[in-house]
Amino acid sequence: MSPARPNREVLAAVAEVMRSRQTRWYLFGAQAVLVWGRPRTTVDVDITAEVDLDDLRSFVTAMERAGFQLRVPASGNFEELVARTRVLPLVHVATGIPLDLVVAGPGLEEQFLERAVDVDLGGVSVPVISPEDLIAAKILANRGKDLEDVRGILQERSSSLDLERIRYTLSVIENALGRSDLTPVLDSELARARS
């Protein structure tokens, strides 16, 4: 499925920066749901990227040259914001589409980067979070729209999903957070998707 034209423009600009800087990244969020699940409305683009925080200013300069602008007050310290939140809020100036760039951390995000799947989106090759990892992330977020996304992905991709990998990823998250409520959500959503 090809995203709408403005999102294609955003993804093409991001892909060029990442390629020129040899930065690993992947698309996630609602745009990834468009690839693996069912269409739904979205007004932003979410990506995760391996960005060196010590080189953040240079990275932002490259993004600005590619047509992006920071979405922080002029008086704000974007480096402090990114250090605190691990999110670099940008906007693609030509389309007005917000881009939230999550700075990848160690652990699961590194695995998500390794498992990202290159997908042609309107002539742009984009690494997209795997459907299994997207399901795990959506279950962790656990909002109504996230669980709807999980159901859509399960229904659209049921025969090709590696359910054991999803279970394993959820168990890793549960162990790290001291929780035990994520895997039951997967089981519940699997039952709903099959009915």
Residue 59 confidence (pLDDT): 96
User: Which CATH number, 3.40.640.10, 3.30.460.40, 3.30.70.1520, 3.40.50.11540, labels domain 5-129?
Assistant: 3.30.460.40
Average pLDDT over the chain, rounded to an integer: 91
Judge whether residue 7 has pLDDT over 70: yes
Judge whether residue 158 has pLDDT over 70: yes
% the chain with pLDDT above 90: 75
Tokens of 96: 């007005």
Quick check: pTM over 0.75?
A: yes
Secondary structure (H, E, C), the chain:
CCCCHHHHHHHHHHHHHHHHHCCCEEEEHHHHHHHHCCCCCCCCEEEEECCCHHHHHHHHHHHHHCCEEECCCCCCCHHHHHHHHCEEEEEECCCCEEEEEEECCCCHHHHHHHHCEEEEECCEEEEECCHHHHHHHHHHHCCHHHHHHHHHHHHHHCCCCCHHHHHHHHHHHHHHHCCCCHHHHHHHHHHHHHC
Output 80 or 174, whichever has higher pLDDT: 174
According to CATH, where is 3.30.460.40 located in the chain? 5-129
Residue 3 confidence (pLDDT): 46
Q: Give per-residue pLDDT as tens, 74-123.
A: 666 888 889 899 999 999 999 999 999 999 998 899 999 999 999 998 89
